[in-house]
């Protein structure tokens, strides 16, 4: 109950500063009504190995920003059965999430969406979960972040400017609601929550049923995601999609995350709070 009250508090803070000012489809957030997202079957790991990290690697750079020193950061490479390229996972030695936990939760993210996500880093947080996305593809998790948070964060990596288009903003303007209070924060969070809704709806049911009211109020914006060819491909892929990460073209690769940060703009593209996110494996 305490966690629920905290969740309501944080949501109310967001609602108070809401830029979009829309009504919400899910009054108490997406986590409970869409909790079947936790039931997505995770893909098997086929191979793992240690990852050596350069001083200027993404992991060490992002870790330093979170107060974690270079000697505390270790890396691991993970290959899943749906991709012949590995993902790099990193953690600070006192991070709440173990490598195994990160590996399992990342394995539940549908592979087409996961393709957009780069290296993941876990650091410590005393309670709850906060997550940041950098450079449109690198995700830093603070605390114990559940798989629904992994899906929310990866949605930021899939965004690729979609949420700032005139078409999307027009879709929001023509909608009388957004998914939840968190989506009201701004267009970026709205896009991410819409993609979480879409991820659920394509696998588990009808949003109106889950919400207990007609989801048509958000149809103009939601349908833009639903009908977008790139997002459709990301939602339906059964194998990883090559070269869709932000830095793929400039690097000429998209498999090796042992890259440094010299030529990458590590702009923070989102900051997302989830008061009680840890759960399921």
Smaller CB separation from Zn ion, 111 or 272: 272
Rounded CA separation 9/12 (Å): 5
Q: How far is the CB of 235 from Zn ion (least distance, A)?
A: 18
Q: Which of residues 189-208 bind Zn ion (CB under 5 A)?
A: 189, 192
- Of 189 and 255, the one with the shorter C-beta distance to Zn ion is 189
- Cβ proximity to Zn ion, 20 vs 43, nearer residue: 20
Distance of closest approach, residue 267 Cβ to Zn ion, in angstroms: 14
> Around 61, how many Cα atoms within 13 Å sit in the side-chain half-sphere?
21
Using CB under 5 A, which of 73, 78, 83, 272 touches Zn ion? Answer: 272
Applying CB under 5 A, which part among 44-52, 68-76, 164-172, 264-272 lies near Zn ion? Answer: 264-272
Residue 103 or residue 189: which is nearer to Zn ion going by CB? Answer: 189
If you write DSSP's letter for every residue of the chain in order, what string do you get? Answer: -HHHHHHHHHHHHHHHT-SS--EESSTT-STTTTGGGGGSPPPPEEEEEEE---TTBHHHHHHHHTT--GGGEEEEEEEETT-SS-EEEEEETT-SS-HHHHHHHHTTS-HHHHTT---EEEE--SSSEEEEEETTTEEEEEE---HHHHHHHHHHHHHTTGGGSHHHHHHHHH-SEESSTTGGG-HHHHHHHHHHHHHHHTTT--HHHHHTS-GGGGHHHHHHHHH-HHHHHHHH-SSPPTT-STTHHHHT-SS----BSTT----EEEEEEETT-----
CB-nearer residue toward Zn ion: 95 or 130: 130
CB 192, min distance to Zn ion, A: 5
Q: Which is nearer to Zn ion, 86 or 118 (CB)?
A: 118
| CA dist list (Å): 225 to 162, 192, 195, 246 | 9, 10, 7, 19
Between helix 147-159 and helix 99-106 the angle, nearest 10°, is 60
Single out the residue of 62, 183, 270, 276 in contact with Zn ion (rule: CB under 5 A): 270
Min separation Cβ 268 and Zn ion, Å? 11
The CB-of-188 to Zn ion minimum distance in angstroms stands at 7
205 vs 28: CA distance, rounded Å: 19
Question: What residue is closest to Zn ion based on CB?
Answer: 272
| 77 or 153: CB nearest Zn ion | 153
- Footprint on residues 212-241 left by Zn ion (CB under 5 A): none
Nearer to Zn ion, 159 or 255 (CB): 159
Residues 173-192 that bind Zn ion (CB under 5 A): 189, 192
Site stretch for Zn ion (CB under 5 A), options 2-10, 143-151, 257-265, 266-274 = 266-274
Contact region with Zn ion (CB under 5 A), list: 25-33, 56-64, 118-126, 271-279: 271-279
| Nearest distance from C-beta of residue 128 to Zn ion, angstroms | 14
Number of residues that bind Zn ion (CB under 5 A): 4
Residues at the site binding Zn ion, with contacts judged by CB under 5 A: 189, 192, 270, 272
């Amino acid at each position: 109950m305490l966690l629920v009250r905290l969740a309501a508090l944080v949501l109310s803070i967001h609602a108070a500063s809401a830029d979009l000012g829309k009504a919400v489809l899910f009054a108490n957030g997406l986590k409970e009504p869409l909790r079947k997202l936790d039931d997505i079957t995770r893909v098997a790991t086929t191979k793992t190995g240690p990852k050596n990290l350069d001083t200027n690697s993404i992991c060490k750079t992002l870790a330093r920003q979170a107060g974690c020193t270079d000697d505390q950061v270790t890396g691991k490479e993970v290959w899943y059965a749906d991709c012949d390229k590995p993902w790099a996972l990193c953690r600070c030695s006192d991070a709440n999430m173990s490598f195994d936990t990160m590996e399992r939760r990342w394995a539940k993210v549908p592979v087409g969406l996961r393709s957009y996500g780069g290296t993941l880093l876990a650091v410590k947080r005393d309670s709850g979960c906060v997550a940041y996305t950098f450079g449109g593809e690198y995700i830093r998790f603070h605390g114990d972040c559940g798989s629904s948070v992994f899906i929310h964060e990866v949605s930021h990596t899939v965004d690729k400017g979609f949420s700032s288009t005139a078409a999307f903003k027009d879709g929001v303007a023509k909608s009388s609601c957004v998914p939840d209070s968190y989506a009201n924060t701004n267009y970026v969070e709205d896009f991410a929550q819409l993609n979480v809704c879409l991820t659920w709806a394509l696998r588990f049911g009808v949003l109106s049923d889950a919400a207990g009211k007609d989801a048509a109020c958000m149809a103009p914006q939601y349908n833009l995601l639903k009908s977008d060819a790139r997002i459709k491909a990301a939602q339906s892929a059964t194998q990883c999609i090559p070269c869709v990460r932000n830095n793929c073209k400039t690097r000429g690769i998209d498999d090796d995350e042992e890259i440094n940060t010299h030529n990458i703009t590590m702009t923070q593209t989102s900051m997302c709070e989830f008061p009680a996110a840890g759960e399921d494996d």
